[in-house]
Amino acid sequence: MDTRTPAAPRLTSLSHGGGCGCKIAPGVLDAILRSQPLFTPPAELLVGTETADDAAVYRLNDAQALIATTDFFMPIVDDPEHFGAIAATNAISDVYAMGGRPIMALAIVGMPLAKLPLETIGAVLRGGQQACARAGIPVAGGHSIDSVEPIYGLAVLGLAHPARIRRNRDARAGDVLILGKPLGVGVLSAALKKDALDADGYLRMVATTTQLNTPGPLLAELDGVHAMTDVTGFGLLGHALEMCRGAGLGARIDVAAVPLLPGVRELAAGGMVTGASGRNWASYGDQVDADGIDALTRTLLTDPQTSGGLLVSCAPQVCGAVLDILRAEGFAQAAVIGAFADGSPRVQLR
């Protein structure tokens, strides 16, 4: 009788999607949320669901506001520790994007116990704990279920001064738009699933998705930084449009200035793209002026990012300080990619 333990299956083979590409398409999500009953929020709720911001914010007192967020998804990679670290980093990012500092996390765990060894599940949690340790916070509890597909993420709490909360809706006409991380995570994940991603590409993917967006609270200290969000499942265009709609402004994005991870354009040209990119464009493409922009570039701008970079709207006079902070924190490819202007809430590509 063969008593060997069967090999654990590839994590990505157990899920129908991975990372932030699992998100419900923005148009579908909007239709669902419109059907929900209205509730008059208390005055202490500084940020709720009104502009699809990164986290909820509740004012505790004159000096403290509590930031609360949750994020979880199915595997984007097969290495369990990497999966845990990526999911945790992605969840913590929402606190940084609001200008806050995380204080603790709760784990959200759903695993197919009949398919995965306990060692694999333990490695997922260990990767998440390691990411939290890098952020200086404990995993203080959580909840777990036996599920059909592997799911992992965190609920994260953070603190900030109420005056330093940075919403996604407060961009101003004339602000420049700065992106903290290069795009291309969705393309790399598609290549990984098709066994077309080399070792260097995989290391780049893990490095960018486990890089904590620590500049968030530092940027919030600058009076000229007016709005922030992070780029995740809806792609760069989707999250830029959220900023436009919240502020009632138009935006211009200079496509040649948008940083990409090495090799991403070539992989996308070879068909390594996610279905989420097409769903994103179908949801909001009518709000984008893309005359003269080729289909490949459009795909990259809608590419779902897992644990993507900060998207910062700031006055031109603090642009240099914003870039200095980002680069000092290790975001070497941070770049000015466009600007906001008076007009209807649309994005113009040029």
Element of type H or E holding 57: strand 56-59
Distance, CA of 98 to CA of 91 (rounded, Å): 12
Alpha carbons within 13 angstroms on the beta-carbon side of residue 294 total 6
Burial of 162 from C-beta contacts in 10 A (0-12 / 13-18 / 19+): middle
301: its two tokens: 């701008």
Distance, CA of 78 to CA of 9 (rounded, Å): 9
Active site residue 319: no
Q: Which of 20, 132, 244, 314 is catalytic?
A: 20
Neighbours of 225 (CB within 10 A): 26
Q: Phi/psi class of residue 139: alpha, beta or left (left: φ > 0; alpha: ψ in -120 to 50)?
A: beta
**Catalytic residue positions, numbered:** 20
